Structure 1
Amino acid sequence: MPLADDLVGRSYPPTAPYDVTAVKVREFNAATGGDSGGGDEPAIPPTFPIVLAFDAMNAFLAAEGIELSRIVHGDQRFRYDRPVRLGDRLTATLTVASVRTVAGNDIIGTSSAVVDDEGRAVCTATATLVHRPGAGTGTDEQGSAA
């Protein structure tokens, strides 16, 4: 069964606050093959807010009872209001921007507003998620009509 259209416009609670520290940036850079930097202030890559966006996406999936194993990540973009800085304390709030069904798959557009501890915008992370239906949804594991 396709996801309900009434998800569009729905927002989910913000993520737990995330402190941007040199250690966390170095861990991210090491995991992604980025510049770990030898100084006190490592380079913060433009994809760093995915840490928060992923937490927000997981909370959305849990709230809607959608299994992560049924999601294919189709697209990810970041639009910055200002750079992420060491010392920032950030949260992300996900809103469902669109839902449509194509060939039995739900195409979900999300937008996660990343803000600092004073509520000022840092960036917006948008993503396209493809939800593959499974057992009990009227399609078999390959997405063919049952």
Structure 2
Amino acid sequence: MPVNPELVGRDFPPTTPYLVGREKVREFARAVFADDPQHTDLITARALGYADVVAPPTFAIVVTDATLQQLLGEPDSGIVLKNVLHAEQKFRYSRPIVAGDELTAKLSVTGIRAMGAAAMVTSESEITDAAGGHVVTTTSVLLVGEGDA
């Protein structure tokens, strides 16, 4: 089944709030080789004016993943996971993510472009803090093929 073109404009419900933990930030920083001390050392982060350690910029994908799971689980999407390649990821920040943030994400499908038997599905996840303030918008592009991958 090809990707459902009626996904464009579809909004998904907000995700369950995600509490950013200090150790999660440290683990993620180590995993992506983000060796700036603000990612792992509380004293350094506070000296820079942050309340806690600062997550590396790509940490937002941890929160975005819950929204992408909503899209991939949509019964009428026409998207079969084994045929998906994560083609592109962008981040547009209002402020850094820091340990202690409670973040919620909301996904919207913003575009589908046919490419032969495949399709490029673009979505945006707006991530906000507990007060409703914008933190980051992530843009994900999935390349969805048909048939056996």
* Superposed pair shares fold, TM > 0.5: yes
1:73 aligns with 2:86: yes
Aligned-residue offset at 1:116: 0.5
The structure 1 segments of at least 4 consecutive aligned residues displaced by more than 4 Å after TM superposition are: none
3-state SS, counterpart of residue 124 of structure 2: strand
Identical counterparts, % of pairs: 38
Q: Which runs of 5+ in 2 are unaligned?
A: 43-51
Contact 2:107/2:123, CA 8 A, preserved across alignment: yes
The structure where helix makes up a greater share of residues is 2
Q: Aligned pair in 2 of structure 1 residues 67, 2: CA closer, same or farther (>3 Å)?
A: closer
Aligned-residue offset at 1:2: 2.1
Task: Provide the residue aligned with 1:58 in structure 2.
Answer: 69
Q: Aligned pair in 2 of structure 1 residues 51, 106: CA closer, same or farther (>3 Å)?
A: same
User: When the two structures are aligned, how many residues end up with a matched partner?
Assistant: 136
Contact 1:20/1:85, CA 8 A, preserved across alignment: yes
Aligned-residue offset at 1:36: 7.5
Contact 1:70/1:131, CA 8 A, preserved across alignment: yes
Contact 1:17/1:91, CA 8 A, preserved across alignment: yes
In the superposition, the TM-score normalised over structure 2's length comes to 0.82
Contact 1:30/1:36, CA 8 A, preserved across alignment: no
Aligned equivalents of 1:100 and 1:43: distance in 2?
36
1:49 aligns with 2:60: yes
Contact 1:18/1:91, CA 8 A, preserved across alignment: yes
Task: Provide the residue aligned with 1:6 in structure 2.
Answer: 6
Aligned-residue offset at 1:35: 2.4
Instruction: Output the aligned Cα RMSD.
Output: 1.8
Partner deviation per Cα, 1:107-141 (whole Å, 9 max, x = no partner): 1011000001121111100011101111xxxxxx3
Task: Provide the residue aligned with 1:138 in structure 2.
Answer: none
